[in-house]
Structure 1
Amino acid sequence: MKAIIGISAYYHDSAAILLIDGCIVAAAQEERFTRKKHDSSFPKHAIAYVLQEAGLDGKDISYVAFYEKPFIKFERLLETYHAFAPKGLQSFVKAIPVWIKDKLYMKRILKKELETFGICSKILFPEHHLSHAASAFYPSPYEEAVVLTVDGVGEWATTTICRGNKETITLLRELQFPHSLGLLYSAFTYYCGFRVNSGEYKLMGLAPYGMLSERTLQYISLIKDFLVDIREDGSFLLNMDYFDYATGLKMTNNRKWTKLFGLPPRKPEGELTQEYMDMAYAIQQVTEEILLKLVATAKQLSGCENLVMAGGVALNCVANGKIQRSGLFENYYIQPAAGDAGGAIGAAFAVWHIYLQEKRTCEKPDGMSGAYLGPSFSDKDIRNMIRKAGAVAKRLDDVALYDKTAVLLDKGFIVGWFQGCMEFGPRALGNRSILADPRNTDMQKKLNLKIKYRESFRPFAPTVLEEDVARYFELDVPSPYMLLVAEIKPEYRLAVPDDYNDFSYFEKLYYHRSVLQAITHVDFTGRVQTVTELSNFRYYALLKAFKELTGCSVLVNTSFNVRGEPIVCTPEDAYTCFMSTEIDFLVLGNWFFCKNDQPKENIKEINKELID
């Protein structure tokens, strides 16, 4: 037996995974245990979990894989400061001491942390984008594929095109820092008032509120004329006069951007005017254009029929949907933990297949086990939580549980749904989810304002039985990881006025436009998750029960958390979230909780000042 622990840490979304003889046994993000969103610290709780899950001790670990090469990253830092000097002195003075004190000695730091688990094995350092590429290719079901990785930056690379063939990954093309699609998108995230490295999905959700108008066409032209020079092969150059991220302490040169676009950076939580919505629309269009050109180049270079993707930009599910619909490839696969957390998976696989040269076996539908790789909790664990909390709950058998939950959803109630193994990656896929009826016209507003405590424009994702996906959506492939956006079928849309696109933000937000209103975004799209009996038996059974009751096989599925908090991990986390929001009912395994039955002293207040 060879056991490999993969680690990502010290930037954002730290995580640990355990690979045994080439199979992923367990994986988790550190934030789920510490309750600190995007926690970047050494993933000690995640490592403790994966070891416990496999029943291993530290001495059983053969290798440890870290998801990037710190020395090359430091080289890039020094060369960048040198190239831009004398600019960036303030940033240089702030960054260099941290590197000299800690990050340059990453191997020593890792060894010290790992020794607390009794792990004394060899530590290997695959490059950042190799870790991304490996995370996408090796768990994919394809023996051969072209691999596209796009993110902010690793060591030097920001975009790579590779060919994966059996156990090998060969680099075909590479784009290097400071020219980065991920950082370009993050710059607009920052300028529109959202937090970099966590608010990009908000920018994506805001984009459909922008309009294809004279202003958005002007914004697109300004982006292409002044900010990014796009080549036909998808490569590009950024005009660094407009960006400060290379050596500064912020993403953009605000003075130049204000002059260019005619509006200042939006303050966080400031008013969302149409100009910022149009800006979001413009950068989303430019991003999609670049990605489609990159995908076409990947096809031309490789001749492959299979495309796999990873890197933070691969979480742009709107672009993913357009790539899938382009028809350039027969098959597509996106790593569900496409960001840095998933780099831990790729690092471990790189050690297994490249360093150790072990043979690869392609699994169907993939090697990710549905991304259900985190902790699970027994009936006894839930009983203990109930006793300690003084909670009131009733245990139901499976059929009664599904039927009762379906009835409550049909009546317009909101249910916290906690089952089995926690998901790995940014999406709740039916095991740590908040569920609701998509047909309810007020549900999107209620979920955002009274459950999630987040911006009202944010859309909610539909979960659908895989066999019914083509009934509701313009989608003819599975989407198990909620990474493809597709249009709602015309028969589920409602007529809108001719001037719908000219509506104000709030008019468009709350206009009754769909039979499935709660999951239909303002542009008649949804971020689809498909479910099979094999992928998630219990969630599938609930969807079937809801379909039998209502004729509708779609549910709203949003992550079980409030804004600013990680997805819940434990029964205690779930009960706390349940008691601090307006979720009506909670299901933990087979245990059923009604809010009105709970002791009043268990009600907790969310400190909204701490919500990011």
Structure 2
Amino acid sequence: MAYILGISAYYHDSAACLLKNGEVIAAAQEERFSRIKNDESFPAEAIKFCLKFASISLAEVDHVVFYEKPFLKFERLLETYVNFAPRGLRSFLKSMPVWLKDKLFIKKNIARALNTIDPNWKKSRTILFADHHRSHAASAFYPSPFEQAVVLTVDGVGEWATTTVSVGHSAQLTLKKEINFPNSIGLLYSAFTYYLGFKVNSDEYKVMGLASYGTPVYKQLIYDHLIDVKTDGSFLLNMDYFDYCTGLKMTNKKFDKLFGHPVRAKGEALLTFHKDIASSIQKVTEEIMIKLTQSLYREFAIDNLCIAGGVALNCIINSAIRQHSGFKRIWVQPAAGDAGGALGAAYSVFYEHLSGVRNVDPQADGMKQSLLGPSYTRHEVIRALSAYGLNYEEVEHELYYLKIAEYLAEGKVIAYFKGRTEFGPRALGCRSILADPRNSEMKAILNAKIKFRESFRPFAPAILEEFADLYFGEGSKNRYMLFTENYSNNSQQASNAVLIPGAVHVDGTARVQIVNQVHHPDFHKVITAFYNLTGCPAVINTSLNVMNEPMASSPEDAICCFLNTEIDILAIEGLLIDKKSRALMI
């Protein structure tokens, strides 16, 4: 029996995962414990959870692996500063002390941190290191339902690589080609995230949502000045417009001059210009990814494609790839960002270092619906409710789901908490806020009164698998909210379909989660009860948190979100708390 602990940390979205004989049994992001969004610190609490779940000590773990190679990243930083000198001196002087004091000695820091968790874990034990993009590629291919696939990873930057192409066959994963820093689709998209006044490495999804409100009028300007795209989809950036190699900003004054506006200040109104900028970079990125994947399909003649890296979380791009690339089947790692790197690093050790045997199930991936985090007993939930003075109603079995359906049909917003916490950025029905998608005003209500976020942000539907084709057409079979589907051309023409305007974006698309009775039985019961009551086989599903906070994980997290927003009902492990009629114990 082999236990492998994978770790990602020190950049953003740190995480830990535990494999047992090649099977992922636990995985969690540190932010879910620290309550710091995208927490980059060493994932001590995430590691402790993984060990507790497996009922083992750290000393019983056979291999520990980190998701990237710090010395190669340091090499890239040094070479970049030398190549761009004397530009970037200020950035150089600011970053070098951090590297020389801390980041360059990650191995020693990891060993010290692990020894703190378990003094029986010897500091002298070997710690393995996997290449950053190799970790992404492994996370995409090894849990996929494919025996053979092209594997594409696209993000900001790892050590040197920003884009890699590999081919996976059985347990082998072979790197074929790569694009290196500073040429990066991820950093190009992040540059526009910065220019639009959003937070880099955090708010790129806001650019994606905003894009649907604009027109890509600056698309040609981007092609003419910022990026040279080759016929095979490879590319070169014009670094005259960017500062991320040498400065403390993503873009510079020349970039501002090109588009005729300065960087949008935080809190500044979103103008038509900003919407058009978002639309333009979204369209450019989409076209590049289509050209790249079309080239890969022609070159390798393999029908399956796996994708990971931060860009893989752009569901609009994923859908464009599915429609235009030529690949017949596409699987995207649900924790595609750096958190998933911990998982990929562990997989790399099992299959490449230990020569593990890979067994593929074409009907199911290995991510277990991404429900890999902590769960809590009803006793623990009741103890938390009592600590907050909350009364509750205990409802058993089918009546529980019926009451939830009735609340939803009445227009109430429900915080739904059940089972294990999701691993990755999407709520998939265990730490969710649920609402009635038939109400066209529900988007505005949720954004303003519950999530406290920008009004342009859309909400996604979770729909029973058996109704997916009716509402979103054939092929809408993703369980992880990683593709958008066109709603307007399907269900609005279907006489037996209940309209769901509250879960559809302004462009007529929806980021759909298909809910299967076998893979997600509890959430399937929730939606089935709502369907039996209303004829609507879908609910709005968004993460149980407010803007700039991590998704809820513990009962305390859920209770705080419930009490500090206008959520009406907390449904938590078979218990119901109605804020108006049953709020406080007397």
Q: Which bin holds the TM-score, normalised by the shorter protein?
A: over 0.9
The match for 1:450 is 449
Map Cα deviations across residues 265-300 of structure 1 (whole Å, 9 max, x no partner): 111121000001000000001000110111112212
Secondary structure, aligned partner of 1:193:
coil
* Deviation at residue 489 of structure 1 after TM alignment: 3.9
Q: Aligned equivalents of 1:599 and 1:149: distance in 2?
A: 48
For 1:243, the equivalent position in structure 2 comes to 242
8 Å CA contact 2:291–2:325 kept in 1: the answer is no
1:526 aligned to which of 489, 503, 510: 510
- 1:459-478 CA-partner distances (Å, limit 9, x unpaired): 00111011111111134241
Q: Could you say which residue in structure 2 is the equivalent of 1:361?
A: 359
Task: Give the structure 2 partner of residue 605 of structure 1.
Answer: none
CA distance in 2, matches of 1:299, 1:357: 28
Paired position in structure 1 for 2:209: 205
| Aligned amino acid, residue 345 of structure 2 | A
Counting only pairs closer than 5 Å after superposition, residues 95-106 of structure 1 correspond to structure 2 as 95-106=95-106
Q: TM-score, normalised by structure 2?
A: 0.97
Any idea what SS the aligned residue of 1:164 has?
strand
Supply the AA of the counterpart residue of 1:9.
A
User: Aligned AA for 1:20?
Assistant: K
Deviates further, 116-125 or 434-443: 116-125
3-state SS, counterpart of residue 490 of structure 1: coil
Provide the secondary structure at the position in 2 that maps to 1:172. strand
- Whether the aligned pair in 1 keeps the contact of 2:297 and 2:325 (CA below 8 Å) is no
Q: After superposition, where does 1:150-189 map in structure 2 within 5 Å?
A: 150-189=154-193
CA distance in 2, matches of 1:398, 1:527: 30
Tell me which residue corresponds to 1:404.
Answer: 403
CA contact (8 A) 1:474 1:489 kept: no
When normalised by structure 1's length, the TM-score is: 0.93
* Secondary structure of the structure 2 residue equivalent to 1:116: helix
Corresponding position: 1:565 with 2:569: no
Residue type of the partner of 2:254? K
Alignment match, 1:336: 334
When structure 1 is superposed on structure 2, of 129-138 and 324-333 the one drifting more is 324-333
1:492 Cα offset (Å): 4.0
Work out the CA distance in 1 between the residues paired with 2:545 and 2:202: 15
Identity of aligned residues (%): 51
Aligned partner of 2:152 among 145, 148, 151? 148
**In 1, distance between residues paired with 2:308 and 2:295?**
17
- Distance apart, 1:491 and its partner CA: 5.3
1:490 counterpart = 2:455: no
Task: Return the letter of the residue paired with 1:178.
Answer: P
1:129-140, aligned counterparts within 5 Å? 129-140=133-144
- Quick one: structure 1 residues 338 and 280, their matched pair in 2 at CA, closer, same or farther if it must change by over 3 Å? same
CA distance in 2 between partners of 1:39 and 1:350 (Å): 24
Match of 1:252 in 2: 251
CA drift at 1:493:
4.4
Q: Which moved more, 1:233-242 or 1:324-333?
A: 324-333
How many Å apart are 1:572 and its aligned residue?
1.1
Q: Which residue of 1 aligns with 2:197?
A: 193
Deviation of 1:387 after TM superposition, in Å, equals 2.0
- Contact between 1:62 and 1:122, CA under 8 Å: does it hold in 2? no
Give 2:87's aligned residue: 87
CA RMSD of superposed structures (Å): 1.4
- The answer on whether the counterparts of 1:392 and 1:597 sit within 8 Å (CA) in structure 2 is no
What does residue range 582-593 of structure 1 map to in structure 2 within 5 Å? 582-593=566-577
Q: Is the 8 A contact 2:476 2:485 kept in 1?
A: no
SS at 1:426 equivalent? coil
The aligned counterpart of 1:325 is: 323
- Paired positions, count: 577
Query: 8 Å contact 1:493–1:524 — kept in the other structure?
Result: no
Which of 118, 123, 128 matches 2:127? Answer: 123
CA contact (8 A) 2:9 2:15 kept: yes
Deviations 1:225-254 (A, max 9, x none): 10000111111000000000011100001x
Alpha-carbon separation, structure 1, partners of 2:450 and 2:460: 15
1:292 corresponds to which residue? Answer: 290
Q: What letter matches 1:10 in structure 2? A: Y
Letter in 2 for 1:7: I
Moved more, 82-91 or 387-396: 387-396
Shift of 1:302: 1.9
Give the Cα separation in 1 of the matches to 2:397 and 2:191: 48
Would the aligned equivalents of 2:577 and 2:583 in 1 still touch at CA under 8 Å? no
Query: After superposition, what is the alpha-carbon deviation per residue over 1:329-369, rounded to whole angstroms, capped at 9, x for unaligned?
Result: 11110000000000000000001101111111113411111
Structure 1 residues 236 and 327: alpha-carbon distance in aligned structure 2, compared to 1, 3 A threshold? closer
Measure the CA separation in 1 of the matches of 2:289 and 2:521: 35
The offset of 1:517, in angstroms, is 1.6
Q: Is 1:453–1:562's contact at 8 Å kept on the other side of the alignment? A: yes
Q: Which moved more, 1:356-365 or 1:409-418?
A: 356-365
Indicate yes or no: 2:387 matched with 1:385.
Answer: no
Is contact 2:150–2:165 with CA below 8 Å preserved after alignment? yes
Secondary structure at 1:147's aligned position in 2?
strand
Aligned residues of 2:66 and 2:128 also touching (Cα < 8 A): yes
Tell me the alpha carbon deviations over residues 544-585 of structure 1, each in whole angstroms, 9 at most, x when there is no partner.
111111111011000000001100011111011100000000
Q: 1:333 to 1:130 in 2, by over 3 A?
A: same
Match of 2:528 among 514, 538, 544: 544
Instruction: Name the CA distance, whole Å, in 1 between partners of 2:509 and 2:14.
Output: 32
Partner residue, 2:10: 10
Alignment-derived partner of residue 26 in structure 1:
26
Partner residue, 1:511:
none
> Partners of 1:477 and 1:409 in 2: how far apart?
25
Gaps of 5+ in 2: none
Tell me how far apart the structure 2 counterparts of residues 175 and 597 of structure 1 sit (CA, whole Å): 59
Report if the CA contact (8 A) 2:6-2:65 is conserved.
yes
Report the AA paired with residue 355 of structure 1.
Answer: H
Aligned partner of 2:559 in structure 1 is: 575
Shift of 1:386: 2.0
